[in-house]
Amino acid sequence: MLLAYGQPSRNCRFGMNLGFGEMFLLVILLPVLSSALKADDCEVCFKVVDTFRASLSESDLKDRFKVDNKFRAWCEDSKGKDHKFCYYMGGLEESATGILGELSKPLISSLPTDKICERLKKKDGQICDLRYEKQIDLKTVDLKKLKVRDLRKILSDWDEDCDGCVEKAEYIKRIEELKPKYLREEL
């Protein structure tokens, strides 16, 4: 119990002797310290959980095994980082482990996405290490400023090769040749 001007009484419990400044800091820092997982911290998990949740019907959300089977079916069509997420979750036949229950039970309980991903991160930290690759806007980017690795990735995304390309200029030339085929001009 506090008396006037922040002086503690002799009966103050737990020996807490906090002044106004300390209380103010505690109030300000407490939400920061106990904040939930953010979408940027675990972007693939957030997107997959939200997309998968949207694909479920009300009747699906009543049975855990239906949710598990629907997730496995959803994973068959997944690609890239979503496919990797499915692998970590156990949604693929070749998955080494399976923690699908950590996804299906919270979905049935209508737990928010941030809490689901937070739990999944505790089970397997790799889940939140997944990041989507940044998309390169070829209409505005200066190809000369990109690394050769990025130029190779552009060609790979188009399922094209650059046979005999060694120098950066050769990759740029090949991309410029293929641009009209893959980029449509919007009117």
User: Where do the domains of the chain lie?
Assistant: 4-33, 39-129, 143-182
Residues contacting residue 182 through CB under 8 Å, at least 6 positions apart: 158
The one-letter amino acid at 65: F
Q: What is the pLDDT of residue 157?
A: 85
How long a stretch of residues is the chain?
A: 187
Q: What is the pLDDT of residue 138?
A: 86
Band of residue 183 on the pLDDT scale cut at 50, 70, 90: confident
pTM over 0.85: no
Q: What is the pLDDT of residue 41?
A: 87
Q: Which CATH architecture has domain 39-129?
A: Orthogonal Bundle (1.10)
Q: What is the pLDDT of residue 32?
A: 44
Q: How far apart are CA 151 and CA 55, in angstroms?
A: 35
Average pLDDT over the chain, rounded to an integer: 84
**Coil, strand, or helix at residue 2?**
strand
Given a cut of 90, is residue 71 above it in pLDDT?
yes
Contact indicator for 50, 113 with CB cutoff of 8 Å: yes
Given a cut of 70, is residue 5 above it in pLDDT?
no
**pLDDT tens string 19-70:** 666 655 555 555 444 456 788 889 999 999 999 999 999 999 999 999 999 9
Instruction: For residue 116, give the nearest of 126, 127, 131, 132 by alpha carbon.
Output: 127
Q: What is the pLDDT of residue 6?
A: 55
Q: How far apart are CA 44 and CA 37, in angstroms?
A: 13
User: For 151-167, what is the mean pLDDT?
Assistant: 90
Q: What is the pLDDT of residue 16?
A: 54
User: For 124-148, what is the mean pLDDT?
Assistant: 89
Q: What is the pLDDT of residue 1?
A: 52
**pLDDT tens string 92-123:** 999 988 899 999 999 999 999 999 999 999 99
Q: How far apart are CA 77 and CA 92, in angstroms?
A: 11
